[in-house]
Amino acid sequence: MSHSTVTPAGMGSATTTPAIGQSRGQVTEIVQRLRDGDLGVLPVVVGLLLIGAFFATQSDAFLTSRNFSNLLLQMAGIATISFGSVLVLLLGEVDLSAGPLSAFAAAVMGILVTNQGWPAPLAILAALAVGCVCSLITGIVVTRLGVPSFVVTLGASLAYTGLVLIVLGTEGNVYISDSTIVGIANTFMPAAVSWLILALALAGYAWLRFDLRRRRARLELSNPSLLGDVVRIALPAVIGAIFVAVLNAALGVPLVALIVGALVIGLQYLTVHRRFGRHLYAVGGDHESSRRLGIPVGRIRLVGFALASTLAAAGGVILASRGASVTTASGGGDLTLNAIAAAVVGGVSLFGGVGRIWQALLGALVISVTLNGMDLLAVSSGTKYVVIGSILVISVSIDAFSRNRRKAAGRV
């Protein structure tokens, strides 16, 4: 009798205790990482919720579907340029020329398609080529001559601003009427297409997660709890469904949102799963150690700058598409600051070697939500600069604090 009652209990304990213990172990590990300064995206999420809650109480238009659609269009150009800023920051460098370069590339595209009659695809490719070539010049000066990137890109930003004035000429602007270019930021997906794309994306993500579990099990490596993977799939599904439903209530999911999403996936794959990405992080973490390991440091830095400037040019194309024009004011003001701020606010370290591409998207959302809310409240330009600058300083301070805590805990 005693054996018949004890044995099932023992069997049940053997099957359930490991799962419970694994979950408790994961919670304990998360708490310990937070104590050690490894905050992840927690400050960004908390900040975004607080900012959103504030503006929602101040403006009835803030939470409307139409405003959310405008917010995404406003964010797309900044996010694309910010992806390039992430690549440069991962190298431990900084690029202050992204805004003016985006305007120069867009101006070249506008002149070619409007005044020279070039087909839109060729004009867009020419704009991207301009960005790549300009970055190669900057990268060579930084990598071969050893001039600090801060100085080189600051000088380059002035040069690109001058080139915009030269290209646009006395008129000072070029209007773009080509439907292909204008359609980049002004095309919206039908509701059925949007839901289909979301379903395919989630199916692909779920397959990748469970394929990873299968491969880890085959290699006899430990897997996270099954519940954890289900949550990792369910959370994007819920957020994506809300995202699509809200946008379909307005004009639909904008085409540019799909473009930005594709850039995030492609760049995330490049930086995390490819050798170039591993070398990028290594170089940003320690140049000298990377060189001793045989990593071509100069080439990695050069390619990083080239990709960053090409992305800046792509951001210029998106911004020109949204406004259907390029002017002498394009790329100026706080565009470069906002692109760098988006990366840093999202959690990319200014010290190099730490951060992910998708974090720039979160940071761009914080910056865009803040700017959008202040526009709805008719806040002055001076106040906008103060607020965005303060957010940047707070983010850098959190980054420095986290880095010091991770060093003390031996996590860096």
Torsion, Cα 255 271 350 235, to 10 degrees, reads: 60
Give the C-alpha separation, 170 to 176, whole Å: 17
Q: Tell me, what's the pLDDT at 182?
A: 92
Q: Tell me, what's the pLDDT at 118?
A: 92
Q: Which residues 6+ apart lie within 8 Å of 220 measured at CB?
A: none
- What digits encode the pLDDT tens for the residues 337-359? 889 989 988 888 877 778 889 88
Give the C-alpha separation, 256 to 315, whole Å: 11
242 burial (CB, 10 Å; 0-12 / 13-18 / 19+) is exposed
When the pLDDT of each residue in the chain is averaged and rounded to a whole number, the result is 84
List the chain pLDDT tens, one digit each, 412 residues: 444 444 444 444 444 445 455 555 555 655 555 555 556 677 788 888 899 999 999 988 898 989 998 899 989 999 999 999 999 999 988 889 999 999 999 999 999 999 888 999 999 999 999 999 988 888 888 888 888 888 999 999 999 999 999 998 877 889 998 999 999 999 999 999 999 999 998 888 888 778 878 888 887 778 777 887 888 888 888 988 998 999 998 888 999 999 998 999 889 888 887 888 889 999 888 888 888 888 888 889 999 999 999 999 999 999 999 989 998 888 877 888 889 989 988 888 877 778 889 889 989 999 999 999 999 999 888 888 898 888 888 888 877 777 676 666 555 5
Query: CA angle, corner 367, sides to 362 and 371, nearest 5?
Result: 145
Give the C-alpha separation, 248 to 303, whole Å: 39
Q: Tell me, what's the pLDDT at 332?
A: 77
Q: Tell me, what's the pLDDT at 8?
A: 45
E strands of 81-146, at which residues? Answer: none
DSSP assignments along 381-405, one per residue = HHHHHHHHHHHHHHHHHHHHHHHHH
Coil vs helix vs strand at 326: strand
- What digits encode the pLDDT tens for the residues 40-56? 677 788 888 899 999 99
